[in-house]
Structure 1
Amino acid sequence: MERWVVAAKRADFAAIGKEFGIDPVIARLIRNRDVQDRDEIRRYLYGKVDELASPHLMKDVDKAVEILRNKIKEKKRIRIIGDYDIDGVVSTFILIKGLKRAGALADTYIPDRVADGYGIHEHLIERAVNDGIDIIVTCDNGIAAYNEITMAKEKGMTVIITDHHEIPYKETEDGRELILPPADAIVNPKQPDCNYPEKRLCGAVVALKLVTALYEACGIPEKELEDFLELGAIATVGDVMDLQGENRILVKEGLKRLSHTSNKGLRELIRANGLEDGPITAYHVGFVLGPCINASGRLDTAARSLKLLCAETEDEAAKLAGDLTALNQSRKALTEEGKEAAIRIVEETEIGQDRVLVIYLPDCHESLAGIIAGRIREKYNKPFTVLTKGETMVKGSGRSIESYSMFEELVKCGDLMEQYGGHPMAAGLSIKEENVEEFRRRLNENCTLTEKDLAPKILIDVPMPVSYINKELVEEISLLEPFGKGNTKPIFAQKGLRVLSSRILGKNRNVAKLQLSDSTGCVVEAVYFGEADEFVDRIKNCGSVAVTYYPEINRYQGRETLQIVIRNYITE
């Protein structure tokens, strides 16, 4: 059963509204996103790129720049080892373009998801040695590769890690002991002694900080960094980082540039998906463009997405964009098959009773495990890990809920896994097949989640009568964009609404259009997306309905009308 909870954060909303020229409702929405003092509010509403923190605050950035400049002068060969997801691909592109601009002899290798697995491995180090590589630079990986980095150092290589994942640790009698690889420089804001104020950066933005400092040291004009802003925005949204603080400014400014990008690959990908005639939003990045970039790393090779970003001709870019768009369509179909298989196991076996769901789908493509885990997590509001059969061992990807740190729970089962890493909300792992059942048992044995934790919580920003909605308020809400993790679309609520009429639209009968009226006689258009038949059946004979909603302006054939989009409902 859903729990509807009203945010109860307090402030003088009228005073804030007057000071910044915004409706008090907007002031309340901003406060609900943990933006409190006046300077934070100003940055939230109007922050610019020049307000971002200096890269020199990040631990080891200057050391990494010094190493790179010396290697560039000595004409040593540099290899960038990235990752096969959107953050890893974009990180790799930023580093290769930045290093080459600084005069480096650099190349890249993005591990193959199936053949290589995540991150840097011993065979990749051997290959680098055989290729005459002197220095390895990782991006979006490396912080958990203690043994591999040790091997690289033993072979006389220089290693720079750029990463944003959690620092591995072990519990000892004296407390938590961090396990840092013996790299020559580690650029990761999650290090406890790193002074960079924003800890929630994606891997691509960490790489961008290094390139920013490198350009400065090499005397390369700062203006040349502007092309990287849109890429930082894409990676931040695609890797589901919190859209707060620095991330919010980066995404906001990056999205502005994306509609008129000079990158031929991005331009053709936008065209291939029919988005060339309007502004690109965080939604478009997260659910249209990002999945296309991710698709090659899932079903083919991420090198194809990197080639798209590096494309020098429109013909090459157009072909690659078309291929990636088609791959994403295939990915969608395979994902749906895997999701349905997972649902059947949850619904038809005892696994469904677990508080932490672990499902083994040996025939599922391992690249789809994370997407499927996310979909099932949303459906059941339980931490969910999908395991698939890899070439040498079982691989898995998990997605969590706010009250369960997946990474910390994996640490407790570290002896069962061959490799693991991630964040509180998402993680990846490799495990021997014979350990799968024990892994599932141990996670649930350690689990302290309560029924309250597992009940989906709907956080309502403002209980607001629909009669309060007007065009000006809706337009002011757009000041809060871009929306995403950590800066969610506002949710309003009202109870006691009467249903005046309803009808079902769409060939899949997945849209309901209705008219609602409140106690003052105010009538509002409303739309509901989902199981429309079930929705209409439940509301048509009820006395009234309570809804959570988001207001918007519906523009159709030159006409503008106010409407609300219903997110949740309860019949009264």
Structure 2
Amino acid sequence: MEKWMVYNKKADFQKIGSEFGIDPVIARLIRNRDIQDMKEIRSYLYGTLAEIPSPWKMKDMERAVQILQKKITQKKKIRIIGDYDIDGVTATCILLKGLKRLNANVDTYIPDRVKDGYGMHEQLIDKALEDGIDTILTCDNGIAAAAEIEYAKKEGLTVIVTDHHDIPFRDTKDGRIWIIPKADAVVNPKQNDCLYLNKNICGAVVAWKLIWALYERLGIDSDEIWDFLELAAIATVGDVMDLQGENRIIVKEGLKKLSSTSFEGLKALICVNNLEGAEITAYHVGFVIGPCINASGRLDTAARSLELLLADNMEDAMKLADDLYDLNQSRKAMTEQGKEQAIQSIEENNLGKDRVLVVYLPDCHESLAGIIAGRIREAYNKPVFVLTKGADGVKGSGRSIEAYSMYEELVKCSDLLTQFGGHPMAAGLSMEEKNVEFFRRRLNDNCTLTEQELIPKIMIDVPMPISYLSKKLTEQLKVLEPFGKGNSKPLFAQKNLRAVGIRVLGRNRNVAKMLLIDENGIKMDAVYFGEAQEFVDFVQAHDTISVTYYPEINVFQGRENLQVVIKNYC
């Protein structure tokens, strides 16, 4: 069951439309995304790279730059410790290329998901000491490694943390205590006393800001800052950051640059995914290119994705891109199998009654736990943790719903966990196998989610008759791109439509095409993607249907025609 709701945010849409030369419907869509005053609207529509905030506003940025400037001059050995997902790999690439441009003595280590686990561990510090490393520089990790950083400092290492994850905390009777590692510098905008306004940037953007500041301090041409723009854009989309403000500008401009990127590895990925010559959108990054970069960190080693991004000739890049493409195809098949096993486990073990789902799949590849958790969340609209059996106990990943802060709930279970970290919407954890059932019970005993919060909400931008649609309006919707989290694709709705001439298409029989007719006889081509036969059966059982939709211009054999894509129906 879904609850359909209409945004009811007020503004003078006629005035906004007149001011910016846009349809009042477009003005209403912008207001629905919480963009309000004229300055914000102008930035949303026409924002430029010049509006991206200075890196110097971040806490400890000055300190980090001073330390690195000294280490570079002294030719001290610097090691970047990254992460094995798209954000961590791109952040590592940015730091490595940026520091090498400054003639630093630098190398990298991206932890192996299975062998090393997430982030800094003592064995990585011991290896750094063995290799004569002077300074460890983290990216997309480190904020939750207080004990490990204390050990590194005791052993004489300099440690700089760049991260964007939530700051660990402990609740006491006297209030909340924030646990910030005692590194030489901690660059993370989520620190309470950090003056950087955008708290929602990804790890790669934090890393980019550090290189940006170093370039400014050491006199590198300011144009070279933008050499990393497409990597920052890919990471922002791939790590599912809100596409508003600074993030929106980074992605919008980065996508433009991606089509003509100078990175041989990105060119190769675009090629193997048959996107050459195409307008690359946030969708392509999130669901085509990004998963290929993630695939090596899931099923092999993320060092291969880093190698791809660092490739300096097309022949090597194509070999690596082909391998990553094949790995991603394997990942897709394994994910589908894991999803089916998870649903079977939920149904057979009567877990569906739980408000927080904890599914233990001992034989599932641990790298797929997060993706499977996301799929199960979509199916049940509940917070989901998928746990797998690793060499050193149980590991897992969680994906949440808006009303449930996953990280805060894990804090309440910290005595059952050996390690955890993350965001309100996603988290990673590990524990002893004996604690799995205690963990499930604790989460559900603590859970305050109401039945209303567990009902999926479909947020409709505008209840708009299909008769209002035009090619001009549909083209104008492009000013709202890129779409993604925090800037969703517009959703319209209309009641009392008849669907006629319906037919099921596609090799997997997952497409339904039809003609929609409203009460005034206005007709519109329509398409539905999903369980097509189920949709057909529903239509045939009812005289009229209500639909949510978005319009698009379909191009077939050189001909353009307006159609709507149906998203939900009742």
TM-score (norm 2): 0.99
Task: State yes or no: 1:364 paired with 2:328.
Answer: no
Task: Output the amino acid matched with 1:142.
Answer: G
**Aligned partners of 1:292 and 1:408: how far apart in 2?**
31
Task: State yes or no: 1:327 paired with 2:327.
Answer: yes
- Secondary structure at 1:448 match in 2: coil
Contact 1:143 1:168 in 2 (8 A): yes
Task: State yes or no: 1:296 paired with 2:296.
Answer: yes
Task: Output the amino acid matched with 1:418.
Answer: T
Worse-superposed segment, 529-538 or 115-124: 529-538
Residue in 1 that maps onto 2:453? 453
Task: Output the amino acid matched with 2:517.
Answer: S
The alpha-carbon deviation at position 252 of structure 1 amounts to: 0.2
Output aligned runs, 1:74-473, within 5 Å. 74-473=74-473
CA offsets 1:30-50 (integer angstroms, 9 cap, x no match): 000010111110111110111
**Aligned partners of 1:190 and 1:282: how far apart in 2?**
25
**Aligned partners of 1:5 and 1:77: how far apart in 2?**
57
**Aligned partners of 2:541 and 2:341: how far apart in 1?**
35
Contact 1:345 1:352 in 2 (8 A): no
- Secondary structure at 1:458 match in 2: strand
Worse-superposed segment, 493-502 or 124-133: 493-502
The alpha-carbon deviation at position 495 of structure 1 amounts to: 0.1
CA offsets 1:225-262 (integer angstroms, 9 cap, x no match): 21200000000000111111110000000000000101
**Aligned partners of 1:292 and 1:307: how far apart in 2?**
13
Task: Output the amino acid matched with 1:195.
Answer: L
Residue in 2 that maps onto 1:508? 508
- Secondary structure at 2:27 match in 1: helix
**Aligned partners of 1:390 and 1:49: how far apart in 2?**
44
The alpha-carbon deviation at position 345 of structure 1 amounts to: 1.1
The alpha-carbon deviation at position 100 of structure 1 amounts to: 0.8
**Aligned partners of 2:172 and 2:191: how far apart in 1?**
19
- Secondary structure at 2:160 match in 1: strand
- Gaps in structure 1 of 5+ consecutive residues: none
Residue in 1 that maps onto 2:8? 8
The alpha-carbon deviation at position 348 of structure 1 amounts to: 2.0
Residue in 2 that maps onto 1:66? 66
- Secondary structure at 2:501 match in 1: strand
CA offsets 1:435-472 (integer angstroms, 9 cap, x no match): 11000000000001111010010000000000000011
The alpha-carbon deviation at position 172 of structure 1 amounts to: 1.0
CA offsets 1:114-133 (integer angstroms, 9 cap, x no match): 00000010010010011000
TM-score (norm 1): 0.99
The alpha-carbon deviation at position 520 of structure 1 amounts to: 1.8
- Secondary structure at 1:385 match in 2: strand
CA offsets 1:200-224 (integer angstroms, 9 cap, x no match): 0000000000000000011011111
**Aligned partners of 2:278 and 2:99: how far apart in 1?**
33
**Aligned partners of 2:532 and 2:288: how far apart in 1?**
24
Residue in 1 that maps onto 2:54? 54
**Aligned partners of 1:65 and 1:427: how far apart in 2?**
30
Task: Output the amino acid matched with 1:22.
Answer: I
The alpha-carbon deviation at position 500 of structure 1 amounts to: 2.5
The alpha-carbon deviation at position 179 of structure 1 amounts to: 0.2
The alpha-carbon deviation at position 541 of structure 1 amounts to: 3.7
Task: Output the amino acid matched with 1:26.
Answer: I
Worse-superposed segment, 221-230 or 361-370: 221-230
The alpha-carbon deviation at position 276 of structure 1 amounts to: 0.7
The alpha-carbon deviation at position 103 of structure 1 amounts to: 1.3
Contact 1:292 1:328 in 2 (8 A): yes
Task: Output the amino acid matched with 1:143.
Answer: I
Task: Output the amino acid matched with 1:160.
Answer: I
Task: Output the amino acid matched with 1:178.
Answer: W
Residue in 1 that maps onto 2:486? 486
- Secondary structure at 1:538 match in 2: helix
- Secondary structure at 1:560 match in 2: strand
CA offsets 1:537-569 (integer angstroms, 9 cap, x no match): 110241111000010000111111110000000
Indicate the RMSD between aligned Cα atoms, in angstroms: 0.6
Task: Output the amino acid matched with 2:450.
Answer: T
**Aligned partners of 1:474 and 1:355: how far apart in 2?**
40
The alpha-carbon deviation at position 350 of structure 1 amounts to: 1.7
**How many residues in Structure 1 have an aligned counterpart in Structure 2?**
570
**Aligned partners of 2:339 and 2:500: how far apart in 1?**
37
The alpha-carbon deviation at position 534 of structure 1 amounts to: 1.1
- Gaps in structure 2 of 5+ consecutive residues: none
Task: Output the amino acid matched with 2:468.
Answer: Y
The alpha-carbon deviation at position 22 of structure 1 amounts to: 0.4
- Secondary structure at 2:278 match in 1: coil
CA offsets 1:72-114 (integer angstroms, 9 cap, x no match): 1111000000000000000000000011111100000000000
Residue in 2 that maps onto 1:21? 21
- Secondary structure at 1:503 match in 2: strand
Residue in 2 that maps onto 1:42? 42
- Secondary structure at 2:287 match in 1: helix
Task: Output the amino acid matched with 2:26.
Answer: I
- Secondary structure at 1:181 match in 2: coil
Worse-superposed segment, 158-167 or 222-231: 222-231
- Secondary structure at 2:176 match in 1: strand
- Secondary structure at 2:171 match in 1: strand
The alpha-carbon deviation at position 507 of structure 1 amounts to: 1.7
Residue in 2 that maps onto 1:551? 551
Runs of 4+ in 1 over 4 A off after TM superposition: none
